[in-house]
Structure formats: C-alpha cells, structure tokens
Amino acid sequence: MKAAGDTQWFRTAVFYEVMIRNFSDSDGDGIGDLAGLAERLDYLQWLGIDCLWLPPFFPSPLADGGYDIQDYRDVMSELGSLEDFRGFVAQAHERGIRIIIDFVMNHTSDRHPWFQESRRDPEGPYGDYYVWRDEPDEYLDARIIFLDTEESNWTYDEVRGQYFWHRFYGHQPDLNFENPRVLDEMLSALRFWADMGIDGFRLDAVPYLVESDGTNCENLPGTHDILKIVRKELDDHYPGTLLLCEANQWPHDVVEYFGDGDECQMAFHFPVMPRLYMGLRRADRTCISEILADTPDIPDGCQWGTFLRNHDELTLEMVSEEEREYMWAEYAPDPRMRCNLGIRRRLAPLVDGDHARVRLLHALLLALPGSPCLYYGDEIGMGDNIWLHDRDGVRTPMQWRDASSAGFSSAAEHDLYLPVIVDPEYDRSLVNVEAQMMDPGSLLQWVRAMLVIRRAHPVFGTGDFTDLGGENTAVFAFLRHDADETILCLNNLSAEPQEVSLDLSAYRGRRPRRLARDEVHPSIGDEPYTLHLPGHGFSWLVLEEEATMASRSSGPDATVTPDRRTDGEYTRHDRLHEVRLHEEASRR
C-alpha cells in the first residue's frame, strides 16, 4: 500500500540513489536485480533513508545505462518482472521507504518500436513521433551535451532518408512533443507506473523537451506547458505523487520548473554541487555563498534536491570556463578522469580518500537548504575505476563484505556486469558494509548517526537559511531556522584549525549546544561570538533559549544524538539487524 496522507514528505526526506543492477544480485547471474535490492531493504532502513530513487530499469539495449528506453511499460527481464516490482514497492513501503523512479520523456532508444516504425513508415501512425528533417540545418544554436562522442545533434537515418534530432547520444532520438500523441503516450506510461503505487518520478533531462529555431532549445515555454499537464494529470489521479526535476541549469532557470507550484515539487540544485568541491579545495566559502545568494526563493511547498555525486560524471556545466579548468586541474589531473564537461570519479577518491573531507561534504549536504540525495556506496567511501567505459566507473558493484565478488553476487568475479573495484585503497577488504557496521568509528556509522540527527530536526528540511558571512572566509557559517528552532552550522573548509567570530547578537542570551555531543557553549552576548573548529571540522549547534535549557535539565532529554535515540521501534530494529549481521558473519 502506498504511504498515504503526507503530501509534503519529500521536504524532510533523505533520498538514496541506487541503480538496481549495481546493488545486489539474488540469483547469481552477476547482475543486481529487484529481488536482491529487496533483500537489502533492511540495510537501507537501518541506514535511515526515506526514499529510494531508482534510475531506469525498463527494457533497454543499455547503450546509456538504461536511459535509452525500449519499452516504457516493463521491467528489464534480467532485473525482474512487473510482479517483482510491485512486490518490491510494497516491501519498501512496509519499511517506511518511499520509491521514486526515473522517467525519460525527452528521448527513447533507437530500438524502441516507435522509432523503428517512424523510420520505416513516415506516413504511418508513428511517422511524426520524432523530429525529422531533410536537412540538418535547424536548431543550430543548441549546444551538444555529450561532447566526447557526438559531433552534431542531428543524425542521418539511411532507412528514412532524413535526419533525426537528438540532444544526447545518436542512438537516443528525441521525441516530438509537437505531436500531441507523444504527450498522451507519456501520460499513459506515467499512469502505468503510478498505478504500481510508486511515490514519484525523477523527470530526466526536462529542459530539452521542445525545440525552437533561433533559441538554445532549453527551458522553452512549451516545455513548461508540458510539465503543467503532467503535474495536473498526477494531481488529479494520484495526488501527492512527487515530480523531481532534473534540469542542469542556472538557479534562475531551474526555479521556473516549480512553476507557480504547478509543475515539479522538487528540482535538483545543480550549480551548488561543484561549488562545494571548489570551496573545499580553495578553503574559501565565497563561491558557495555566491551561488546560494543568487538562488531565488521557491514557491511554498516546493523543495530543492541536493547531492554530492550521482550516477553521471560530476557535471561542470553550471560553472564558468575558468572554474571548469580549475576543477579539472584540481580534481581530474589525469585526462581519463574527464568525461564530457565533467569528472568521472566518485566522492571518496575525489578527496583522496580523506574521510574528514568526506564527512565535511556530507555535513554540508545534510545542512544546506534542500533534501539531500546520497549515492549508493558513498556512505562507505567506495572507490571508482576511471578506465571503465563512459560513466561505468562510478557504477560498480556495491561492496557488501570482504568476500568473492564483494558479497554482491555468488557469481565469479569475471561474470559480474562490471568488475568490483580492485584499487588497493578502496578494495573490498577495506571498504565494505559489513566491516563498517561492526566499527562504531566507521564512515558508515557516522553517516547513519548524522541521518538520525537530521531526522530529529525537521528545520534542516523546511527551515529558512541565513548565511552569516564573517571575516574568515575559510569558515562557512549559516543558520537553519524556523519558529521552533535555530541551528548554527559551522564548516571549516580549510585543513588548518580556524577561529571564527560571528555576530549572533540577535540570539542574545541563548546558549549554543552541539547536537552530536550534547556539549553546551557559553551564552551569546552582544559582542562577536568566537568558536574554534579543527581542520576540515564542522559543528551543528542548536541555539537554545534559557527556558528550553531549564526544561531539559529537569525533564527527559528529547534530543536525538548518535548514542541516544528516542524512537523505540527504530532502535529495536537496529539491534535486530546488527545481531543478524553478527550471526551471518560468524556462520561464514
């Protein structure tokens, strides 16, 4: 049963992206599948995520990781069946985990029967499903996105004797939304999946839905018209279904995808992501502060989506050329690390495997405005393999334990869909879930503890954001606040210890209390308030009123810290899961 009622759940949710084939293989064919993912739901619940984002799992030739769809209404057979999917959604819901799936409206695979018909029979029912021209001379102001492989957005088709339009690979023809039947097909496919009880859709590559000569063919009014229709369809028949917009654009363009609250409820904030890495490398918050200051307000009930990494390259489309060169020089010194306008590396290797920086980046992700999306494997600091094809190097098998095939599959290593990471620094003997679950000081346990804290303070999801500035630009200090709570977040972007003095006089009389350690600092006065941070350290401090402190000292402490949880159900489940894990380990 779909979780009912709360239509604003996504504003305080933590998302987790996992490609089904990458996570867990249940039947030993070397490919992760739905049954395998279902077996790992206990782990995901233990970790404390609220919603899974599943990239495309539909029948596909997999020439673009599944974003080349051949059939919108089925599950790729090696991953499971429609029945498996329905069962999986129910199992996730039983654990309080919501499911959103990717939906690619912009293009199909060239193997899709619509395209095959379209090229064969221009006058037939599918003749106008794609954008065909006799000459490749329209829309020339549109940029090429997959620069490493594509020379043009037009490809000549020998069968039809015409050119077709594509914003991505040449095997991904763009659908023609000038044909109303195309939108009908999309709405019908959306209903098909909504009927399965899912909680929402991540809408892929939406800026490119329609074209218009003389423009860059991005973010056009016709695209917004389509999204309003999609949203209305879902609101009318499946109220509360989330639309999460993937528009890799500048903030002023992305906010348009919220419409007047009548398009997408969420949109990824692409430009802030590379600036977190940039600010960290420069030990200077300025670039992060600037992009957030340049981010317009969004309609009530909407939310940003934030992330550190995902299944694609770390995109550098939303930075200046100079900033891109800087990012490449600092984070992709080997040319093989570069991919299109980005970097094909995972989070941990990007920061030289330094867990202090991995933690700092997560602390920023979890505290900045928006709902964070974790990428599978980053919670244990998984490595990458830059030598694999395209972006496959960040899509390798999840490392569950120090065993053959990293516990991902019973298949032999050479039979896996992609090789397990063998880089000695990130090898499964060092980086795996089981070992980190046993180790209270591990990155995994830390991420989980941070999610517990975040869950206990909804202000991180729905509160306002105030950048506190300050003279020391190595420290990024900001407030998250609402009527109930004010949390001061401090982040030292430099490797050196830092002192920071802030004007907190508006909070005179309050005492900052560290959430993670329950450590209380002196009361705030009128003079600048001074705090110290270790190199790459961070701190979340709730600014408590005297009255709150008095009630805390006389009554039970309602604060959730990594060591003290108030939710009995949650704690019982944790223990059970840990006992099971220990048992499994001792059986082996």
**Residue 92 · residue 52 · CB < 8 Å:** yes
Which residue bears the tokens 């504003």? Answer: 11
| 426-444 burial: b if 16+ Cβ within 10 Å, else e | bbbebbbbbbbbeeeebbb
Handedness of CA 543, 548, 550, 555 (dihedral sign): negative
Which amino acid is residue 549, in one-letter code?
Answer: M
145 makes contact with ligand LLGJG24Q (CB under 6 A) = yes
415 binds Ca ion (CB under 5 A): no
Minimum distance, C-beta of residue 396 to Ca ion, in the bound complex (Å) = 16
Binding partner of residue 168 among ligand LLGJG24Q, Ca ion, none, CB cut-off 5 to 8 Å per kind: ligand LLGJG24Q
Tell me if 225 contacts Ca ion by CB under 5 A: no
User: Could you tell which of ligand LLGJG24Q, Ca ion, none binds residue 132, using a CB distance below 5 to 8 A set by kind?
Assistant: none
CB neighbour list of residue 352: distance below 8 Å, 6 or more residues apart: none
Least CB distance to ligand LLGJG24Q at residue 246 (A): 6
392 binds ligand LLGJG24Q (CB under 6 A): no
The interface with ligand LLGJG24Q within residues 417-476 (CB under 6 A) comprises none
Per-residue binding letters, 9-48, with ligand LLGJG24Q (x by CB under 6 A)? ----------------------------------------
CB of 242 to ligand LLGJG24Q, least distance (A): 17
State how far the alpha carbon of 352 is from the alpha carbons of 228, 256, 279, 349, 355, in Å: 44, 37, 16, 5, 9
How many helices (H) and strands (E) the chain has is answered by: 18, 21
The verdict on 138 binding ligand LLGJG24Q (CB under 6 A) reads: no
Query: Residue 483 has what DSSP assignment?
Result: S
Indicate the SS3 state at residue 156.
Answer: strand
Q: Name the active-site residue from 246, 284, 312, 384.
A: 246
User: Which entry of 102, 204, 211, 378 is annotated as an active-site residue?
Assistant: 204
- The site string for ligand LLGJG24Q over 259-298 (x = CB under 6 A, - otherwise) reads ----------------------------------------
Enter the tokens of residue 128.
Answer: 């106008």
Scanning the structure block, which residue is given the tokens 């890799």?
Answer: 248
* Region 56-115 residues binding ligand LLGJG24Q, contact defined as CB under 6 A: 64-65, 67, 104
Nearer to Ca ion, 29 or 482 (CB): 29
27: contact with Ca ion by CB under 5 A: yes
Q: How far apart are CA 163 and CA 157, in angstroms?
A: 6
Compose the 238-257 pattern: x for residues touching ligand LLGJG24Q by CB under 6 A, - for all others. Answer: --------x-x---------
Identify which of 567, 547, 494, 579 has the alpha carbon closest to the alpha carbon of residue 283. Answer: 494
Residue 216 is which amino acid?
A: N
33 is known as an active-site residue: no
Q: Report yes or no: 37 and 49 within 8 Å, Cβ to Cβ.
A: no
Residue 370 beta carbon to ligand LLGJG24Q: minimum distance, rounded to whole angstroms: 18
493 binds ligand LLGJG24Q (CB under 6 A): no
Distance of CA 33 to the CA centre of its chain: 20
Q: Which of 13, 20, 24, 25 contacts Ca ion by CB under 5 A? A: 25
**Within its chain, how far is the Cα of 548 from the centroid?**
36
Among residues 150 and 574, whose Cβ is nearest to ligand LLGJG24Q?
A: 150
Counting residues that bind ligand LLGJG24Q (by CB under 6 A) gives 15
3-state secondary structure of 328: helix
User: Does the protein bind Ca ion through residue 20 (CB under 5 A)?
Assistant: no
CB of 107 to ligand LLGJG24Q, least distance (A): 7
Return the number of the residue (375 or 476) whose C-beta is nearest ligand LLGJG24Q. 375
Residues 564, 556: contact at Cβ < 8 Å? Answer: no
Using alpha carbons, list the distances in angstroms from residue 378 to 36, 373, 381: 19, 11, 5
Burial class of residue 148 (count of CB atoms within 10 Å of its CB; 0-12, 13-18, 19+): exposed
Binding-site partner at residue 315 among Ca ion, ligand LLGJG24Q, none, CB < 5 to 8 Å by type: ligand LLGJG24Q
Closest CB 205 distance from ligand LLGJG24Q, rounded Å? 4
Binding mask 516-535 for Ca ion (x = CB under 5 A): --------------------
246: annotated active-site residue = yes
3-state secondary structure of 487: strand
29 belongs to the binding site for Ca ion (CB under 5 A): yes
At CA 421, angle to CA 417 and CA 422, rounded to 5?
A: 125
Query: Interface with ligand LLGJG24Q includes 315 (CB under 6 A)?
Result: yes
Q: What are phi and psi of 510, to 5 degrees?
A: -85, 160
Task: Find the radius of gyration of the CA atoms of the chain.
Answer: 24
Tell me the three state secondary structure of residue 69: coil
Point out which span in 92-100, 306-314, 364-372, 526-534 binds ligand LLGJG24Q (CB under 6 A). 306-314
Minimum CB–partner distance for residue 391 and ligand LLGJG24Q (Å) = 6
Q: Out of 185, 204, 218, 392, name the contact with ligand LLGJG24Q by CB under 6 A.
A: 204
Task: List beta partners, residue 38.
Answer: none
- CB 78 to Ca ion: min, Å: 6
Residue 550, both tokens: 């008095």
The residue (of 165 and 540) whose beta carbon lies closer to ligand LLGJG24Q is 165
Using rule CB under 6 A, residue 168 touches ligand LLGJG24Q? yes
The shares of helix, strand and coil residues in the chain, as percent rounded to the nearest 5, are: 35, 15, 50
What would the two tokens of residue 440 be?
């209270």
Q: Which residues pair with 8 in a beta bridge?
A: none
Which residues are the active-site residues? 204, 246
Interface ranges with ligand LLGJG24Q (CB under 6 A): 64-65, 67, 104, 145, 168, 204-205, 246, 248, 311-313, 315, 317
Interface ranges with Ca ion (CB under 5 A): 25, 27, 29, 31, 33
